[in-house]
């Protein structure tokens, strides 16, 4: 029996809680596999903090470490604090050398060895034992260069950053094969926090220009301060145009529900579907917020989360004194530990929140808090690093659209600046949350639609048995360019909301796949079918489509008249059993409830 292979990087998210992201992980693994072909571009994966970007990179690194030998995986996480160029150069060099040698030797213990426990002499000896490998020619050379007091700080920084590409290219001039390396850099926006020993900003971003251009040494970076990394780091200057971008969104509703299921099972909590859906929507699909609310229930000794009141109570407790509060408070502390007055920073943050979705006007904010514009600008930039403010580059700032973060900002101000009692702040927040209840009246129907949307987004060109759509022929599931809802105007009738549509091309022809979703306990009747046909025809005419595939879904079945009408018009139809089989095919575990 083959011994168990332990992951070289311990994953922050336990395997029994990790949810979704399979498509992105597969995509990154595919790009890594293409690295030897010289076609993999450097790429930025960008999204708000606490959505799981680090967990994805950890999984990709661990799989590349054990599942293949052709491409050397390297993972490095930037520190969210000011760092000197010398500290960074040593950390970057040690990390690269340790992970490179560990991969060649398949030594997971060496790969996960903590930086302070690295014995450079032993590590260099291991590198030099890899006869014929480029790393054997660089290990001791770079160690001596970084140790020398005669080498300029800039040169040390350059050598550390250039090392992956130099190792990759070493054999090029010797008529040998290059060494493909797949570099993953987490929280890349903190590259801006690297300074020389005299406090002046190091030109780290500029140095990365040459490093990231090697197609056999692509750099895949993540960023949490979205505008900061897309505009100030990658959207201007030396790195402009050198990265492709992948958006890292919150969990889709169907996967948010799946995460609730996993946590509920793990912790023996009962969370019925309407409540689970409400929890997912209120948390905005954030796995971190969802996990915090579930654990708050355990802290309170609950065995169930039932009803919107329960979710509101748990969220209010989390925002005012739970893990969500501790996490965001830690962010404030971390980024303002060098600022003398936390009071001023909190006032600026609170009053900035009053601008809502509008651009924050520095002059107005400075007048409100009675501080110089320069100080307000400096504080807002620090808040952008803390991912509490959206930076658009220059003097442009916006508030983030995270409603829970905005609640935290307000309650933090009330607790720390206005010195209101915790109970009063909690009650006010709970009253606010209760005003939001009841706004998800058709939540069950929306959750069914979320499952179908997740399904359409995963169609990949495969063919499936026709019985799943009540047709005698196999059905091809095309890969859609996009999936959305839309509004059409059938001839002689009122406007009609199409629940979901997918668009794709067959050569020069444009096609559409239209879905009508009912979550009725009663059967769909023929008149519903006729209205659906009219809407589909209107869509084909308005969008000038070559044809439209029509699909009708209902929990409660279809009358004989409806079935006859669907057969007449060539409409596919499915119930919960067929939908669940399709969901399983695409790895979606949150299934529809089937009637018994």
pLDDT digits (tens, 9 = 90+) for 442-455: 566 777 888 898 89
**325-436 carries CATH number 1.10.490.10:** no
Task: Tell me the per-residue pLDDT of 401-414, one tens digit each, with 9 for 90 and over.
Answer: 788 888 888 888 88
With CA atoms as reference, report the closest residue to 43 among 246, 186, 248.
246
**What's the CA gap between 576 and 375, in Å, rounded?**
59
**What's the CA gap between 155 and 146, in Å, rounded?**
9
Confidence (pTM)? 0.79
Token pair for residue 323?
A: 């893990």
Query: What class, spelled out in words, does domain 443-585 have in CATH?
Result: alpha beta
Cα 585 to chain centroid distance, Å, stands at: 24
Q: Which CATH number fits domain 25-247: 1.20.200.10, 3.40.920.10, 3.40.50.300, 3.30.565.10?
A: 3.40.50.300
Q: Phi/psi at 500 (nearest 5 deg)?
A: -145, 145
**Residue 315 CB neighbours (<10 A):** 25
User: What's the Cα-to-Cα distance from 16 to each of 259, 262, 457, 503, rounded to whole Å?
Assistant: 9, 7, 24, 35
596, pLDDT greater than 70: no
**What's the CA gap between 268 and 259, in Å, rounded?**
14
Task: Tell me the per-residue pLDDT of 301-315, one tens digit each, with 9 for 90 and over.
Answer: 999 999 889 999 999
**What's the CA gap between 411 and 405, in Å, rounded?**
10
Helix, strand or coil for residue 399?
strand
* Residue 439: predicted pLDDT: 60
* Residue 440: predicted pLDDT: 53
User: What's the Cα-to-Cα distance from 588 to each of 237, 255, 453, 583, rounded to whole Å?
Assistant: 42, 8, 11, 5
Asked if the domains at 25-247 and 325-436 fall in one CATH topology, the answer is no
Least confident of 154-168, 221-235, 281-295, 551-565: 221-235
Planar angle of CA 185, 189, 191, nearest 5 degrees: 75
205, pLDDT greater than 70: yes
Cα 318 to chain centroid distance, Å, stands at: 22
* Residue 4: predicted pLDDT: 58
**What's the CA gap between 407 and 419, in Å, rounded?**
16
1, pLDDT greater than 50: no
DSSP-derived letter for residue 39 is -
Which letter, b or e, does each residue of 3-40 get, where b requires 16 or more Cβ atoms within 10 Å of its Cβ?
eeeebbbeeebeeeebbbbbebbebbbebbbbbbeeeb
User: What percentage of the chain carries pLDDT values higher than 90?
Assistant: 54
* Residue 183: predicted pLDDT: 97
Residue 382 or 486, more confident: 486
Task: Tell me the per-residue pLDDT of 112-146, one tens digit each, with 9 for 90 and over.
Answer: 888 778 889 999 999 999 998 999 999 999 999 99
Label residue 592 by pLDDT band (50, 70, 90). low
**Residue 363 CB neighbours (<10 A):** 10
**What's the CA gap between 201 and 239, in Å, rounded?**
17
Token pair for residue 208?
A: 């990365």
Label residue 557 by pLDDT band (50, 70, 90). very high
Name the residue ranges covered by the structural domains of the chain. Answer: 25-247, 253-306, 325-436, 443-585
Asked if residues 59 and 13 have their Cβ atoms less than 8 Å apart, the reply is: no
Average pLDDT value for the chain? 88
325, pLDDT greater than 60: yes
Least confident of 75-84, 223-232, 325-334: 223-232
332, pLDDT greater than 80: no
Label residue 335 by pLDDT band (50, 70, 90). low
DSSP-derived secondary structure for 195-234: E-TTSPBP-HHHHHHHHHT-TTS-EEEEESSHHIIIIIIS
Label residue 512 by pLDDT band (50, 70, 90). very high
Task: Tell me the per-residue pLDDT of 254-292, one tens digit each, with 9 for 90 and over.
Answer: 888 889 989 999 999 999 878 888 899 889 889 999 999
**What's the CA gap between 332 and 316, in Å, rounded?**
20
Q: What mean pLDDT is predicted for residues 425-439?
A: 82
Asked if residues 235 and 393 have their Cβ atoms less than 8 Å apart, the reply is: yes
Q: Is the Cα torsion angle 264, 269, 275, 278 positive or negative in sign?
A: negative
Residue 337 or 460, more confident: 460
476, pLDDT greater than 90: yes
């Amino acid at each position: 029996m083959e011994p168990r292979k332990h992951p070289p990087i311990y994953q922050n998210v336990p395997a029994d809680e990790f949810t979704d992201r399979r498509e992105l992980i597969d995509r990154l693994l595919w790009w890594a596999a293409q690295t030897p072909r010289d076609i993999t571009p450097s790429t930025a994966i960008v999204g708000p903090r606490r959505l799981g970007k680090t967990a994805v990179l950890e999984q990709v690194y661990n799989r590349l470490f054990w599942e293949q030998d052709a491409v050397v995986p390297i993972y490095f996480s930037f520190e969210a604090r000011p760092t000197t160029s010398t500290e960074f150069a040593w950390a970057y060099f040690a990390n690269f050398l340790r992970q490179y040698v560990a991969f060649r030797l398949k030594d997971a213990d060496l790969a996960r060895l903590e930086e302070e426990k690295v014995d450079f002499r032993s590590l260099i000896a291991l590198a030099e034992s890899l006869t014929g490998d480029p790393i054997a020619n660089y290990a001791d050379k770079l160690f001596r260069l970084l140790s020398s007091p005669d080498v300029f700080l800039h040169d040390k920084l350059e050598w550390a950053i250039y090392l992956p590409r130099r190792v990759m290219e070493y054999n090029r001039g010797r008529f040998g094969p290059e060494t493909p390396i797949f570099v993953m850099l987490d929280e890349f926006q903190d590259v801006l926090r690297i300074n020389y020993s005299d406090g002046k900003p190091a030109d780290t971003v500029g140095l990365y220009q040459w490093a990231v251009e090697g197609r056999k040494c692509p750099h895949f970076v993540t960023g949490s301060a979205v505008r900061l990394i897309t505009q100030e780091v990658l959207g201007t200057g030396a790195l402009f145009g050198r990265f492709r971008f992948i958006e890292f969104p919150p969990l889709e509703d169907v996967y948010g529900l799946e995460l609730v299921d996993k946590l509920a099972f793990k912790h023996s909590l009962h969370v019925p579907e309407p409540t689970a859906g409400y929890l997912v929507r209120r948390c905005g699909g954030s796995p971190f917020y969802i996990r915090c609310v579930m654990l708050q229930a355990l802290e309170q000794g609950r065995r169930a989360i039932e009803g919107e009141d329960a979710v509101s109570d748990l969220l209010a407790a989390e925002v005012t004194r739970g893990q969500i509060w501790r996490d965001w408070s830690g962010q404030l502390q971390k980024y303002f530990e060098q600022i003398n007055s936390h009071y001023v920073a909190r006032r600026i943050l609170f009053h900035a929140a009053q601008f809502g979705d509008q651009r924050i006007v520095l002059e107005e904010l400075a007048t409100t808090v009675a501080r110089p514009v320069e100080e307000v600008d400096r504080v807002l930039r620090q808040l952008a690093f803390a991912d509490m403010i959206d930076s658009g580059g220059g003097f442009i700032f916006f508030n983030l659209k995270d409603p829970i973060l905005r609640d935290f900002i307000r309650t933090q101000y009330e607790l720390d600046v206005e010195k209101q009692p915790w109970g009063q702040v909690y009650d006010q927040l709970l009253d606010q949350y209760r005003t939001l209840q009841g706004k998800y009246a058709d939540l069950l129907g929306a959750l069914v639609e979320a499952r179908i949307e997740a399904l359409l987004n995963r169609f990949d060109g495969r063919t499936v048995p026709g019985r799943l759509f009540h047709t005698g022929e196999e059905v091809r599931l095309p890969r859609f360019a996009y999936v959305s809802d839309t509004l059409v105007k059938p001839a002689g009738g009122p406007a009609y909301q199409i629940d979901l549509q997918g668009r794709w091309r067959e050569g020069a022809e444009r096609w559409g796949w239209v879905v009508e979703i009912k979550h009725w306990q009663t059967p769909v009747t023929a008149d519903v079918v006729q209205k659906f046909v009219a809407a589909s025809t209107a869509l084909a005419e308005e969008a000038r489509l070559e044809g439209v595939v029509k699909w009708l879904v209902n929990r409660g079945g279809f009358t004989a008249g409806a079935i006859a009408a669907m057969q007449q018009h060539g409409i596919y139809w499915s119930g919960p059993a067929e939908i669940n089989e399709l969901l399983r095919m695409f790895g979606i575990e949150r299934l529809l409830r089937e009637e018994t």
